Amino acid sequence: MRMAFLFLWLVCGKCYAQATPDDLYREFSAAYDRLDAAAVTRLYLDSAYLLNLYDGQPAKSLRGRERIKAYFESFFAGVRERDQRLVLTFRLVDRQSEGQERLDNGYYRLAAVAADGEPLFVSYGKFSTVVRPTPVGYRFLIDATSNADAAEFDSAGGWEIPPRQ
C-alpha cells in the first residue's frame, strides 16, 4: 500500500511539475491559431466563468464549459467564413499564487490574417485570469477580458507567450 501511495505521489507530482500556467496560454494560443473551439474549451474547468467587458459592447458573462464552447464555436465560425486565421499572443505582467491557484494579469494581441497571408487588423486587450492545476495541467476558472491598445501592450513589460518575432 505504501508503495502504491509513493507511486501515485510521484506520478501526480510529475504531472504538476511539467505543466505550468504558461503551458495553458501556449495551448490556448495554438488552439486559436487552428480555430479549434474544442481545444480552447478543454482549457476551461466545467464551472469556469468567461467575462467579456469590452467598451462599446454589452458585457457578456458566461458560466460553464458548454456555454463557453458555444461562444468559441460561433466566434471561430465567423472567422472561417471570412477565410481568415488568427494569431494570438499573450503578455503576462503579473502572477500571484493563492494556494494552488494562480492569478494572472496581462495583455493580449490578436491579429487577423487573410488566407493569402495579408495582415488585416490587430486588436489588443487586457486580461485577468484565475487558473487552477488539474491532473492534465492548469485550467481556467475565471477568464476576464477588456479593451487595451497597442501602447499598453508594447509598454507592459512581462513575458510573451508564445514568443513571437
The domain locations on the chain are: 19-161
Q: What are the C-alpha distances in Å from 135 to residues 31, 97, 99, 126, 132?
A: 20, 18, 16, 28, 10
Count of CB atoms situated within 10 Å of the CB of 30: 14
Q: What are the C-alpha distances in Å from 145 to residues 9, 99, 114, 118, 134?
A: 36, 23, 25, 27, 23
**Could you tell me which CATH number the domain at 19-161 has?**
3.10.450.50
Residue 82, amino acid: R
pTM for the full model? 0.86
Tell me what pLDDT residue 165 has.
66
Structure confidence by residue, pLDDT tens digits, 73-119: 999 999 999 999 999 999 999 999 999 999 999 999 999 999 999 99
Structure confidence by residue, pLDDT tens digits, 13-72: 444 433 799 999 999 999 999 999 999 999 999 999 999 999 888 888 999 999 999 999
Mark 12-26 as b/e (b = at least 16 C-beta within 10 Å): eeeeeeebebbebbe
Total number of residues shown for the chain? 165
- Contact status, residue 92 vs residue 162, Cβ threshold 8 Å: no
Q: Is the pLDDT of residue 123 over 80?
A: yes
DSSP 64: S
Tell me what pLDDT residue 57 has.
83
- Contact status, residue 40 vs residue 19, Cβ threshold 8 Å: no
Structure confidence by residue, pLDDT tens digits, 3-23: 444 344 344 444 443 379 999
pLDDT confidence tier of residue 141, bands split at 50, 70 and 90: very high
Helix H or strand E segment including 147: strand 137-147
Tell me what pLDDT residue 10 has.
42
The phi-psi region of residue 72 (left if phi > 0; otherwise alpha if psi is between -120 and 50; otherwise beta) is: alpha
- Over range 118-124, report the average pLDDT: 96
> Pick from 142, 112, 147: which is nearest to 126 by CA?
147
